[in-house]
Amino acid sequence: MPAPASPPNAPDAAGAVPGETPLALTRRARKIDRELTMLYPDAHCELDFTNALELSVATILSAQCTDKRVNEVTPALFRRYRTAADYAGADRDQLEALIRPTGFFRNKTTSLIKLGQALVERFDGEVPPRLADLVTLPGFGRKTANVVLGNAFGIPGITVDTHFGRLSRRFGWTSEEDPVKVEHAIGQLIPRKDWTMLSHRVIFHGRRVCHSRTPACGACALAPLCPSYGIGTIEPIAAAKLVKTGADVAVSA
């Protein structure tokens, strides 16, 4: 049976679920988060790293590239470049050759060299654990800063990538398109202590079930809580075939 073009309880043009009060929205958002916690107990950052500098570099490389490809490139990269000073003094041709598979390698090389220089000149070669400082660094925006804060420093942050933004709107949590506005809107619904793990869980769900083009609605455990149920495949067997697991997951940033 084909999915309805627009579910009867879909978010309206303002991003609200018809008849849902702010309190009800908060309760539903937190219930979705609890369900995601049970669905993805092992949710985590899918970039490989051992310290804040490595995570910063890996996150910059992940732009327009899959995490899987980045993880294939970074072992050799991290062996050669261990400190901010190493990136600051890097030979451009050698660095470009190492990160070429991640795409946009010339721009990324520039960002990594300038990142190293900025860390050496302004922060004694260390990645600073403050959002206000991180967003001033080359290659950084709020998304990258929140990834580093949450996963390298344990400081809660909401990472609004394409998956997180898409699901936030489908869940009826917000209608905002701007990542910063999405971040602030969701921050009002979910306790601060849960922000980092919420980001991982939502991204996991977006990569595995709630796909951009054809969501697996009929195989989604969140269906009873989702006002956008029906925008994708609702027939259970067909939907189950859309669910991605393990190596099938497209881990794009």
Residue 64 lies in a domain: yes
Instruction: Note whether 195 and 123 are same-domain residues.
Output: no
Has residue 177 got a pLDDT over 50? yes
The CATH number given to whatever domain includes residue 113 is: 1.10.340.30
Where is the domain boundary, 152, 171, 206?
A: 152
Instruction: Note whether 147 and 75 are same-domain residues.
Output: yes
Residue at 50: amino acid letter: T
Catalytic residues: 143, 161
The arithmetic mean of pLDDT across residues 8-20, rounded, is 62
Structure confidence at residue 88 (pLDDT): 98
Mean pLDDT value across the chain: 92
Instruction: Note whether 137 and 221 are same-domain residues.
Output: no
For 125-154, the DSSP string reads TS--S-HHHHTTSTT--HHHHHHHHHHHS-
Which DSSP symbol is given to 225? G
Where is the domain boundary, 104, 127, 152?
A: 152
Instruction: Note whether 166 and 236 are same-domain residues.
Output: yes
Instruction: Note whether 182 and 223 are same-domain residues.
Output: yes
Number of domains composing the chain: 2
Q: If pLDDT is split at 50, 70 and 90, which confidence band does 5 have?
A: very low
Residue numbers of the domain that contains 140: 52-152
Structure confidence at residue 18 (pLDDT): 75
Torsion of CA 113, 114, 117, 121, to 10 degrees: -170
Instruction: Note whether 125 and 171 are same-domain residues.
Output: no
Instruction: Note whether 27 and 58 are same-domain residues.
Output: no
Has residue 4 got a pLDDT over 90? no
Instruction: Note whether 204 and 240 are same-domain residues.
Output: yes
Instruction: Note whether 56 and 148 are same-domain residues.
Output: yes
Q: If pLDDT is split at 50, 70 and 90, which confidence band does 247 have?
A: very low
Where is the domain boundary, 105, 124, 152?
A: 152
Instruction: Note whether 62 and 26 are same-domain residues.
Output: no
Region of poorest pLDDT, from 1-5, 76-80, 90-94: 1-5
**Is the Cβ–Cβ distance between 68 and 100 less than 8 Å?**
no
How does pLDDT run across 131-142, given as a tens digit for each residue? Answer: 999 999 999 999
The arithmetic mean of pLDDT across residues 222-246, rounded, is 94
The CATH number given to whatever domain includes residue 27 is: 1.10.1670.10
Residue 29 lies in a domain: yes
Instruction: Note whether 133 and 211 are same-domain residues.
Output: no
How does pLDDT run across 28-87, given as a tens digit for each residue? Answer: 999 999 999 999 999 999 999 999 999 999 999 999 999 999 999 999 999 999 999 999
Has residue 246 got a pLDDT over 80? no
Region of poorest pLDDT, from 8-17, 102-111, 177-186: 8-17
Structure confidence at residue 16 (pLDDT): 59
